[in-house]
Structure 1
């Protein structure tokens, strides 16, 4: 196959938090600029009610934070494999199927990739997690089929898939000098995916790499789950989480869980939800927290709070603590989030990640000592506790950090060239 001409097809990494598009061009970086010269487009849609239009990416977040009336939708990928994907949601006063919402964003990705490349794309290799849905092959296939149908509806005539950690492996392989047995650890916004693959410079352009892929696996845990646990354990107690009813039963947690989960935040704003909460107020021993919860809902500040928690998670990668100013809810209110609190909150999730890596090695019949390299990629792969957790399982392997937001898109561009020319 010739590699001195641009590829016919593109690769798209539709991520839970951020998305990228890659196109192989000789002598040039493969990732295409998608917003203001940046290679990532945050996977966000804001329906601006004042101007009756959808806005995407960083501009969507900006307009929401500037106070425009409307509805913010984030973590769209999490809809795949969930029951919500078969239902509608209210957008600017009308019912919109969640599948059409996905179509809006995937279509925008296609349009921006084509504008950046200066040409159209009919074929695409889409990244996918190893498991959209854990332990349910039929639901997992249905999630992939849904994404394929959405991609065809927005104009791609040929759609195929590659596991995201395999794509990251191909990106890493482009820069190595010799053969390595590599564990790819891809911690995205919604899933943690693993691949054990044998890589070598001389294999890079082979069409069939199946023999090199020793095992793939993953767990449905990602950055948004880490956000959720930090939110629940560190912030939601100020809003009534853990409060006692007069009967000594704990206050129902569904409101707090929904507020801490990106794609269910809007459910708390529903009139039915607010009425149930209002009725509950009189049965709470101490109403301080629930009254703050009412103020948060009244301001529709759930997404704002979730963004503050996400920013705290990111800052706690390098800093021991971050103080969150909650003065917009109550004058003088704030909360100190620490790395120790965060690590304690996510310990159960990290245990599942460790278990997933252990199962992967066992399924491949490979001992920890045989792994040469651990390649970390994905936006949440920089969390120190996660790195240390995986490192403890593979003490002899060297650790390599990929482009946290670009390795998969670059690898998908390689795969798109390999499949479609």
Structure 2
């Protein structure tokens, strides 16, 4: 019996699933025994190799000379997709970089099935790009183009929250009205869906999907704002020139805190700019820290430290963000309250999108019987509260944080391609 693949290409992590028609989907091991792989690449200048996932992160954190890329999904639909970036002695487009990662996952599929798959269902957020329908369409087309370049001939897309709902539906025995809350690495998506074992047999579920909404807010945005609030001031954000007339340009620090922008800073021009600003600065020691981040390409290591602190604050009231390297230390204590204050605007946007999903569906909050939470960002206490506070009588279903979308895409592929 043929197995059909679904691919959840995520901002932070990716998964692959296989499913036979009428069968149960399963996630493929994509990195050793791991069922998830960080959506990261490292191009080594030391041995010329290309590393993926955890190996890419390890090589970068270990200090190997090379180019680290992460959160490439966030580039889809943006102006960066038209640019190229230096990778060793060559320049590559972002579509080629995404294609390189997809090629790696396709090899996993081929090894698992003994075949060269040409059909696949790819997940997509409800909105790749907020409030720009043209850019949103381009983002889907760019992802499809990257997949076609790797040999996929028949590509279908499914909304990620719908995929999560399909997987949840495969395990219930009664009809439910559900709100799916999918907080991913780069986007947050919401859908109101009617689910039941009987409805699951239908290929066309348009009538059961009562609404979609989505915002370009995800886990990396929470990282960015915590980084800006607690770490970038140590590198010069908000500091003044010695004459007190000008503040340091903010964009350098905003980009250093944004996963998919960090690599764009590693240029000779930016290094010269920061050296010049340090000479004018009232607090040159702060700009010296920024210089270190540039010289040693430590921006992603700093972002990783911030991400680790964000995760720690889900279980603890306080932690310390710490980046330690040879001859260099950059640390700041932080609390959950500070994190929530820094990211309150993101939580408000998520709450607003949930309200919009209910309004579009034409249902009252009291009618929602189940709230399905998925995605790593749903672990953030303030996000979880915003997602569930309107539904005191509903069952809160904590789905597989990183696997439910991929499993649902596998189910969808088996139904479409059977």
* TM-score after normalising by structure 2: 0.96
Q: 1:333 to 1:163 in 2, by over 3 A?
A: closer
Match of 1:172 among 160, 163, 168: 168
- Is 1:126 matched up with 2:106? no
CA contact (8 A) 1:377 1:407 kept: yes
Q: CA deviation at 1:326?
A: 3.4
**For 2:344 and 2:352, how far apart are their aligned partners in 1?**
12
Question: 1:37 — aligned with what?
Answer: 33
Mapping of 1:20-419 within 5 angstroms?
20-25=15-20, 30-245=26-241, 246-328=243-325, 333-419=330-416
Q: Is the 1:33–1:116 contact (alpha carbons within 8 Å) kept by the matching residues of 2? A: no
Inter-partner Cα distance in structure 1 for 2:103 and 2:310: 30
Is the Cα–Cα contact under 8 Å of residues 34 and 116 in structure 1 kept in the other structure? no
Higher mean displacement: 385-394 or 240-249: 240-249
Cα distance between partner residues in 1 of 2:329 and 2:52: 33
Deviation per CA, 1:208-256: give whole Å up to 9, x if none: 1111000001000000000001111011111111112224432111111
Closer, same or farther: CA 390–36 of 1 in aligned 2, 3 Å: same
Distance (whole Å) between structure 2 residues aligned to residue 335 and residue 384 of structure 1: 21
If the length of structure 1 is used for normalisation, what is the TM-score? 0.96
Cα displacement string for residues 276-326 of structure 1 (whole angstroms, at most 9, x for unaligned residues):
122222322222211221122222111111111111111111122222333
Distance in 2, matches of 1:311 and 1:223, equals: 12
Shift of 1:329: 7.0
Q: Map Cα deviations across residues 59-101 of structure 1 (whole Å, 9 max, x no partner).
A: 1111112221100000011110110011111001211111111
Query: Does the CA-based 8 Å contact 1:171-1:410 persist in structure 2?
Result: yes
- Considering only aligned residues, what root-mean-square deviation do their CA atoms show, in Å? 1.5
Indicate yes or no: 2:24 matched with 1:11: no
Whether contact under 8 Å (2:231, 2:331) holds in the other structure is no
Structure 2: gaps spanning 5 or more residues: none
The alpha carbon displacement at 1:115 in A equals 1.3
Structure 1: unaligned runs, 5 residues or longer: none
SS in 2 for 1:251: coil
Deviating above 6 A after TM superposition, structure 1's stretches of 4 or more consecutive aligned residues are: none
> Matches of 2:321 and 2:375 in 1, distance apart?
25
Counterparts in 2 of 1:224 and 1:333: CA distance versus 1, 3 Å: closer
Cα distance in 1 for residues equivalent to 2:112 and 2:226: 37
Deviation at 1:29, TM superposition (A): 5.0
**Alpha-carbon distance in structure 2 between the residues aligned to 1:215 and 1:320:** 36
